Amino acid sequence: MKQDIIFTPKGYQELLEKKQKLLNERPDAVEHLRKAREMGDLSENGYYKAARVRLSFIDAQLRRLDDLMQRACVVEKEQTSRVVIGSVVTIREGQMEATYTIAGSHESDPKKHIISYVSPIGKALMGKMRGETVEVQTPSGTKRFIIQSIE
């Protein structure tokens, strides 16, 4: 049994956009493959092999996106004072302050400060309120963060 995959509305929209981009690229990839086949001997045709790899990549990505979309559960952000999926949370540890968006695991991108609700920090923040202190086990030891704001 396949489990639902949680997405924010923005994350699901990005999936739709990726799929549309791939669907737009596919006819060009099919055309390149057709042209490569017309060149004759396929065993030593690098253009044919490259065109086939490109089309296979696009088709594999489309299948992956279709699977994600079929299993997607889009979660609207609740209007609450607690941290939920979709919240933008600012935390502080000493002088260090960071702002994170809480999202589903397939949307997480730590470089963009988007973390999963199942990540160590995300899990610790879920359900907490402004002013609360959370403890997170990190490779460098236990960190204590104070929730500064929740949007």
Do 100 and 45 belong together in one domain? no
Count of structural domains within the chain: 2
Answer yes or no: is 92 within a domain. yes
The predicted model scores a pTM of 0.82
Per-residue pLDDT tens digits for 60-85: 999 999 999 999 999 998 888 999 99
Choose the final residue of a domain: 74, 107, 126: 74
Do 106 and 144 belong together in one domain? yes
Cα gap 50→116, rounded to integer Å: 36
Do 67 and 97 belong together in one domain? no
**Most confidently modeled range among 22-26, 46-50, 77-81, 107-111:** 22-26
Choose the final residue of a domain: 47, 74, 101: 74
Do 66 and 96 belong together in one domain? no
Which residues on adjacent β-strands are paired with residue 103? 116
Cα gap 100→85, rounded to integer Å: 11
Cα gap 108→102, rounded to integer Å: 8
Do 50 and 97 belong together in one domain? no
Answer yes or no: is 79 within a domain. no
Answer yes or no: is 135 within a domain. yes
Choose the final residue of a domain: 49, 74, 99: 74
Answer yes or no: is 82 within a domain. no
Per-residue pLDDT tens digits for 94-148: 899 999 999 999 999 999 999 999 999 999 999 999 999 999 988 888 999 999 9
Answer yes or no: is 49 within a domain. yes
Q: Which CATH number does the domain housing residue 9 bear?
A: 1.10.287.180
Q: List Cα–Cα distances, 114 to 8, 77, 98, in angstroms.
A: 11, 15, 11
Do 61 and 118 belong together in one domain? no
Answer yes or no: is 81 within a domain. no
Our measurement of the distance from residue 41's CA atom to the centroid of its chain's CA atoms, rounded to an integer in Å, reads: 42
Answer yes or no: is 113 within a domain. yes
Residue-range definition of the domain harbouring residue 107: 88-150
